[in-house]
Amino acid sequence: MGTDSVFVLLYVDDIVITSSNDELISFFKDMLHQQFHIKDLGPKKYFLGIEVARSSLGLSLCQRKYVLEILEDSGLSGARPSNMPMEQNLKLTDTGGSLLSDPSSHRRLVGQLIYLTVTRPDIAYTVNILSQFMHQPRQPHLDVAHRLLRYLKATVGLGLYYSTTSSLELRAYCDSDWARCLMTRLSTIGYCIFIGNCSISWKTKKQHTISRSSAKAEYRAMAVTTCEITWLSYLFQDIGLSIPKPVLLFCNNQAVLHIATNPIFYGCTKHIKIDCHLVREKIHKGLIHPSKILTVSQVADLFTKSLGHDQYHFLISKLDVRNLNAPT
């Protein structure tokens, strides 16, 4: 078949096969038929709860049916919709409010929401917060979960869109809050990586160690994002895609940018010296190029804090997350 390749995505007994050569796909399926009893479902429309819509303009991924099942399972199908997943600047603790009489249903709900973040980066931060109180969920945690469900009802058709005309240029955004957790004073990192205008990787996660300054917290976020960019570059190389380098890595903290490009270690950076070496190595090799961005345009803010209505929806539009069921 020349230089053509076939790619197989396998999860238990569900398989997705793709290639730039239709003959190669047919050949591979015939090989499988000879060894196993398989059922060919044709072009992909539904896979592991993810609905797939394809056209000449692009590919859309959403979990509309899954969202409706969550709403029905929780008894909130008739609830009043909300335009925000979480109240701005809300801070939850593990001691405030009464304990839930039946924590198992809440844990089940949060588990369902975690899987929903596969195609819904807009709820990643809220779900991350809820998942931190699974051991002893309380009424305020359930209230946040119910508000998130009301937001999902208002945005049931929201999903990812990948345009066929998108470029192959990677760009990344990284951010961190500072000691926002009231119980541990740990910071939360967040990043989002795009290929062209399409978001392909995102994360919100609490840091493992306490940062004594906002610069250190954000530098750790830059280091984590750099590791993800490195992995993606290897992945694209393996599948035969050439990604333009360096990858622009946007950060809104001027001190972090100074540390990343300054070859001299100061005393204030000794606690993040390994991260400094990692980031500077990738800069030296030409993989990344840290760049300044205004806070108002920092997409990674979505993954580190609960924002106000206007800023939240402005940044959501930058993710190219679309309502696939909206009238055209």
Is a pLDDT exceeding 70 seen at residue 254?
A: yes
Whether the pLDDT of residue 13 is over 90: the answer is no
Range 289-303 average pLDDT? 95
pLDDT at 271 exceeding the cut of 60: no
Categorize the per-residue pLDDT at 146 as very low, low, confident or very high, splitting at 50, 70 and 90.
very high
- For residue 246, say if its preceding peptide bond is cis, omega within 30 degrees of 0: yes
pLDDT at residue number 266: 53
Residue 129 or residue 278, greater confidence: 129
pLDDT digits 0-9 by tens, 40-85: 888 889 999 899 998 888 889 999 999 999 999 999 999 999 999 9
Position with higher pLDDT, 3 vs 240: 240
Looking at the predicted structure, is the pLDDT value of residue 264 above 70? no
For the record, the structure tokens of 284 come out as: 């030296």
Average pLDDT, the chain: 90
Residue 269's pLDDT band (boundaries 50, 70, 90)?
low
Pairing of strands 170-176, 188-195: antiparallel
The DSSP bridge partners found for residue 194 are 171, 199
Check residue 226 and give its pLDDT: 95
pLDDT tens sequence across 14-33: 899 988 888 899 999 999 98
* Prediction pTM value: 0.91
Q: What is the pLDDT of residues 170-189, one digit of tens each?
A: 999 999 999 888 888 999 99
Q: What is the pLDDT of residue 265?
A: 54
On the question of pLDDT at 2 being above 70, the answer is: no
Domain positions in the chain are 1-42, 64-158, 167-293
**Residue 280: enclosing H or E segment and its boundaries?**
helix 273-284
CA dihedral 225→229→231→237, nearest 10 degrees, is: 180
Question: So what's the pLDDT on residue 248?
Answer: 96
Is 275 a residue whose pLDDT tops 90? no
The helix-helix angle for 273-284 and 214-238 (nearest 10°) equals 40
Is the model more confident about 325 or about 213? 213
pLDDT given at position 291: 95
Q: How confident is the model at residue 268 (pLDDT cuts 50, 70, 90)?
A: low
Residue 208's pLDDT is 86
**In the CATH scheme, what is the code of domain 167-293?**
3.30.420.10
In sequence order, the β-bridge partners of residue 112 are: none
23-37, 138-152, 266-280 — which one is most confidently predicted on average?
138-152
- The three-class DSSP label of residue 60 is strand
